[in-house]
Structure 1
Amino acid sequence: MNYAATATTTTGRFASFAASALLVVAAGSAYAQGATTLTKATGTGSSLVESHSLVFGSTAARNVNMGAWKVNEGTSSTLGASSFWVYCLDPLNNYISPDTYDKVSLSNFVNGYQATPGGATMGYASIFAGANYQAAGVKTMYDDSTTTTARVLSDLTNLFQHAYADSITSSVKSAAFQFAIWEILGDGAGQSGNKQYYSAGYSNSGLDANETGTTFRAQVDTYLNGLNGTWAAGLTGTTNYTFSVYNPNPSGSGQALIRATANAVPEPGSLALVSLAVFGVVYTRRKGKNS
């Protein structure tokens, strides 16, 4: 028996199996990862929320609490090391704590998922199909029909990569970041259909900041200008995140929330080991062919 040839065959099968596994992981699942309970954490440092006046569509201006807050997976409200920041993906429904959620990837939330095989499709479109989003003055203005799921996914990812870390440094930045998230979700038409984002009020705009103060509006425009193509100094670098979306089931029973977790950057030594491992597989396969 040719041992080198046998080893090569085994290595080749292992590499093929590993590649298949990676493809499965990359593709993700169209189903929820399971029911998860979230509870709002309480105490100093658990909230970056501010109240600002907003207009959704052509409805009357309303004061809205905006910004990130910390939650726990489970039923504890104790603020601690396991608490994490979330932002709202559902401005026209009320937040409930504690509440039970489907935990899904951002891609599956935006493109639709099933809580169980054969069940109803949940996620972004089902939220915007709810009564609050179908109301007169909101529908077709602050609406998922003004954008595309591909744009929502791309722009949310872009916003978080450039500005998430900046947003959790102050309450005004956090509130402005929340506005930008909501702008992406339902105001894709922009001014006169130019498909750009604005904080200012326009007749066909889906979401407006209804304030004369300059601090909040200026910070909103900093983030929206970045989405429109020009990131300000200090926001030009990017960080890659893994996103978890907590979507109430059924939709409309509470707010959908998003969590961002920074991806770990491999240490140089780890990268070197990976390179050596890949080299070893390639070298073994070549040696087997030569044998």
Structure 2
Amino acid sequence: MKECTGVGEMSEMGRLVLLGAPLGNPADASARFREVLATADVVAAEDTRRLTRLARDLDVTVPGRIVSYFEGNEERRTPELVEVLAAGYTIALVTDGGMPSVSDPGYRLVRAAIDAGFPVTAAPGPSAVTTALALSGLPCDRFCFEGFLPRTPAGRRSRLRALATEERTLVLFEAPHRIAGALADLAAAFGPDRPAALCRELTKTYEEVVRRPLGELAEWAAAGEPRGEITLVVAGAPPVPAARPDDDTLRAAVAEREAAGLSRRDAITEVATAYGLRRREVYTIVHT
């Protein structure tokens, strides 16, 4: 079976291309995004009207067939699209903003295409997750994405209790009508002083990033429901300090390092660092 010869060209093997769509500002669309949109045989869009409007803003003509692909019909439509791939056509998958599959439709089709042996690639683009993370001013070296919290208050509180000791920065999506309740529950579970940033309408005209502790953010949201698409970034929990060992254990640790060839001074320094203690404290214990 011959491999697909190029996006938009029919071959014996179809191909699925995931398009990273602008979050709000059409100027963020890449040249490759435009190219794939203009050459794909089929464009599966979360909202066909929004796609048409975006194509118009980008001055791109979409010659391929446009079909809807959203949460309500993806289970039914996925087999149909796999048949399109089997016929040798290229499908472009685009959501209302950001990368498909990231808390948006797409995972089901990606998995089905992979399982059926069809190539899956991407024209990477904007992501609300990484954009909000970078703008938050919170540590970005390690983070985890939790998507949308459970919709019911009980489910949400249960999830937050499980996340309360997570040391990585958390990135969450939340709907405007639930954000005040979510922030109140976050402040209760994580403590009101935990740093956070609420990012609203990223890249759009009314973009806003509010950086405050969770308790203050909860009060701010309760005073007036924030509008638009919201990404919430929350600092991770502080590391839990290791339990202080007893004096005999500290003496043994120093002696072990001395036996391995360290000077007493260096052994004491190493043990103090390992247990988060002051060097003078360990020195006093060893010489008592």
TM-score, normalising length: structure 1: 0.22
TM-score, normalising length: structure 2: 0.22
Q: Which has the larger radius of gyration?
A: 2
Choose between structure 1 and 2 for higher RCO, CA contacts under 8 A separated by at least 6 residues: 1
